[in-house]
Chain A
């Protein structure tokens, strides 16, 4: 499916749903994005208290798609659907899924594919004043087939970083699209600003932030070699799934250098509107950085030291 097809399908589904279920809700504002449906893919679990009936009902993204014919216990079914973003209670037509459920599946799949192939906008990079460098791979197909090339900076990148970045900072923040440009587009700004505020309050000296196109997690080793920071925080797009295509991860490592082992990296994942809210995640990351710097270790080494 190309972009305009997806748009059409989206419109069709929305129209159909509104007429079928007579769902009264605000019309979706056109965002120009293909992945309208992904605005609130996950539910935000309320684990502290029993549900407050007076409060407005929060709709799970799958609720609109549930269509079991003549359920024995509708109340129970609705409750179960609300508890998970997974595709349950979608009903069936004979042995096949219903049209709605199938279209929703294909739409989510298309959104996942799009997030791998899309490109972070210059608008965001300019606004945040992040200069952009490239790994050793430019072609998207090659990037997917050759993870090793995504772990190394190209020569031009090394030159630019050497010229533009502050050396030996305590904390170096780097942003990379990884496998989801949407993750960066939607969440990186808020995580970054909030983390920056937290680090400033903690009194840490920060390096010059920049963006790496087509990066993999271990790109932090090359960056560590080039800039000699104490800690690298890498905000990188996660491999998209059918639940969310815009989830961001923050990888942290104490003194990443050539030969750093994976066990010494740590990650805070699931940062997006339906997971950990980006601004709150940034504030929390400040704590994690502090812990790493206090213990001069990250990952499993940090866990060992804390014991």
Chain B
């Protein structure tokens, strides 16, 4: 792809299996060389088109709602692919995520594994609550809003089982938080309470309500909205609250605007025209409480681009990045999934040999403690523009250090912050041609991130998904 105007397209699919609903989205990315004809190519995603949106399905459950109905999910995916006119082999990137309460079902892992191998070449296949919050904020438009306005906005994605909050300012992630607040935490049948989730029972006990009357449900809902308010303004300091799942928020009192997405927000905005199904749970009551809250009204409310589909949209369109255009990869070794990242900040080449050796040693102790041959990606940052001789030097150090790996047939995976992957990869290769290499650049990752690297595209770049959990304070 040496000339501009040469466009390559790839298909990306997002599948979101939530507590209450499951949805699928198919989109097409256009990749183009945006550098001038006389420059080294720079490949970017220049256009994202949504080709197909599935209806909102109820998540199929079995065995008293303890497990997800795998057969049914497969049938659903097959049917939707057919309607969209997509073959699994056409899919080059995307994400299957199991969100909210569904993630805690006994067979969640199995589903993920099955789907990501059968439905096409997915990169992200799991998402923890933090990543879920990030994906929802990107799908709802909150992330873009913060970029466009420079404001600090909280995206509050309220689904059936959980609420995922992500706070962005100027496109920078300030933090995430997950709450047991959702439409399906209390279910009704024939006007009577039929099921109550564990955290809600704890709340009822705490505020001395027996959950026998409508008033009791109202006070639980008030408690939920209050918790949400305190999380947003940063005044909550204790994890005693049974609604908090995981860590406390870390953004302080900085939020200027709020945006609601997720199934419950649909009750606020009514984006979906065809949907009139009754869920028989507290979803719409919760939405009403949020609408009426005078404390939540103190923030500026921004209307989301998507409500119930924010997460699936984010998963399908916002998770993929493109590597630098000059890279050195052994195409036969791709795709690679779930590589843990070890970060080496290498500034002083005087002690480079020792630094590289230590980093690889630490990475192996951390990620492959039982010497099972679990691979990892070494991320190197901090380097200046290097002379060719210095690149040779680093190549040798890396090769020596990576010999500590138990299995030398697996690819040596290196991610460079600087634009130097090709020369480094070639240098390693000329030292040891038999060792497979995946050396890419211009992707930013952190310690503890997980990395998925897709197959090489025609433009000689690879799609990359960084599953990041790092916040910026």
Contact A279 B423 (CB under 8 A): yes
A261 CB, nearest partner CB in chain B, Å: 16
Q: What residue of chain A has the Cβ atom nearest to residue B442's Cβ?
A: A48
Task: List A residues at the B interface (Cβ < 8 Å).
Answer: 44, 46-54, 189-190, 193-194, 197-198, 200-201, 249, 266-270, 273, 276-284, 286-288, 291, 302-303, 306
In this complex, the interface size class of chain B, counting residues with CB under 8 Å from chain A, is: 35 or more
Contact B387 A279 (CB under 8 A): yes
**A54-B472, A276-B419 known; A283 vs B39 contact (CB < 8 Å):** no
Contact B444 A52 (CB under 8 A): yes
| 9 A–B pairs (Cβ distance < 8 Å), ordered by A | A51-B172, A53-B472, A190-B388, A197-B388, A197-B426, A197-B430, A277-B386, A277-B420, A283-B326
Contact B171 A48 (CB under 8 A): no
Q: Mask for B127-160, Cβ within 8 A of A = 1, else 0?
A: 0000000000000000000010000000000000
CA distance A125 to B80 in the complex (A): 66
**A50-B171, A269-B38, A303-B3 known; A279 vs B44 contact (CB < 8 Å):** no
Contact A280 B423 (CB under 8 A): yes
Residues of A within 8 A of B42 (CB): 47
Residues of B within 8 A of A52 (CB): 444, 472
Contact B39 A284 (CB under 8 A): no
Contact B2 A283 (CB under 8 A): no
Contact B172 A50 (CB under 8 A): yes
Contact B40 A268 (CB under 8 A): yes
CA distance A280 to B59 in the complex (A): 49
Residues of A within 8 A of B472 (CB): 52-54
Q: What residue of chain A has the Cβ atom nearest to residue B328's Cβ?
A: A283
B271 at interface by CB-CB < 8 Å? no
List 7 other contacts, CB 8 Å, given A200-B430, A302-B2: A44-B418, A46-B444, A48-B321, A52-B444, A267-B38, A283-B326, A283-B328
Select which of B387, B418, B423 is within 8 A of A283 by beta carbon: B423
7 closest A-B pairs (Cβ-Cβ)?
A: A283-B423, A283-B422, A193-B388, A50-B171, A190-B388, A279-B423, A49-B444
Q: What residue of chain B has the Cβ atom nearest to residue A270's Cβ?
A: B39
Residues of A within 8 A of B442 (CB): 47-48
B206 at interface by CB-CB < 8 Å? no
Select which of B3, B171, B423 is within 8 A of A194 by beta carbon: B423
Q: What residue of chain B has the Cβ atom nearest to residue A300's Cβ?
A: B3
B233 at interface by CB-CB < 8 Å? no
Q: Mask for B33-47, Cβ within 8 A of A = 1, else 0?
A: 000001110101000
Total A-B residue pairs with C-beta atoms closer than 8 Å? 100
**A193-B388, A194-B423 known; A277 vs B321 contact (CB < 8 Å):** no
Residues of B within 8 A of A283 (CB): 326, 328, 422-423, 425-426
CB under 8 Å from chain A, chain B span 417-445: 418-423, 425-427, 429-430, 442-444
Residues of A within 8 A of B389 (CB): 193
Residues of B within 8 A of A291 (CB): 2
A244 CB, nearest partner CB in chain B, Å: 13
CB under 8 Å from chain A, chain B span 324-362: 326, 328
Residues of A within 8 A of B171 (CB): 50
A278 CB, nearest partner CB in chain B, Å: 8
Q: What residue of chain B has the Cβ atom nearest to residue A251's Cβ?
A: B38
Which interface residue of B147, B328, B385, B421 has the most chain A CB atoms within 10 A?
B385
B76 at interface by CB-CB < 8 Å? no
CA distance A268 to B41 in the complex (A): 10
CA distance A193 to B430 in the complex (A): 13
CA distance A52 to B468 in the complex (A): 13
Contact B40 A284 (CB under 8 A): yes
B170 at interface by CB-CB < 8 Å? yes
Q: Mask for B302-328, Cβ within 8 A of A = 1, else 0?
A: 000000000000000000010000101
CA distance A278 to B326 in the complex (A): 13
**A268-B38, A269-B39 known; A198 vs B426 contact (CB < 8 Å):** yes
B391 at interface by CB-CB < 8 Å? yes
CA distance A17 to B388 in the complex (A): 34
CA distance A54 to B444 in the complex (A): 13
**A284-B326, A302-B2, A306-B2 known; A268 vs B420 contact (CB < 8 Å):** no
CA distance A269 to B418 in the complex (A): 19
Q: What residue of chain A has the Cβ atom nearest to residue B429's Cβ?
A: A201
A37 CB, nearest partner CB in chain B, Å: 16
Q: What residue of chain A has the Cβ atom nearest to residue B5's Cβ?
A: A303
Q: Mask for B455-473, Cβ within 8 A of A = 1, else 0?
A: 0000010000000000011
CA distance A301 to B242 in the complex (A): 69
CA distance A249 to B385 in the complex (A): 18
**A279-B420, A280-B423 known; A273 vs B2 contact (CB < 8 Å):** no
Q: What residue of chain A has the Cβ atom nearest to residue B146's Cβ?
A: A50
Q: What residue of chain A has the Cβ atom nearest to residue B420's Cβ?
A: A280
Residues of A within 8 A of B387 (CB): 189-190, 279
Select which of B172, B420, B430 is within 8 A of A53 by beta carbon: B172
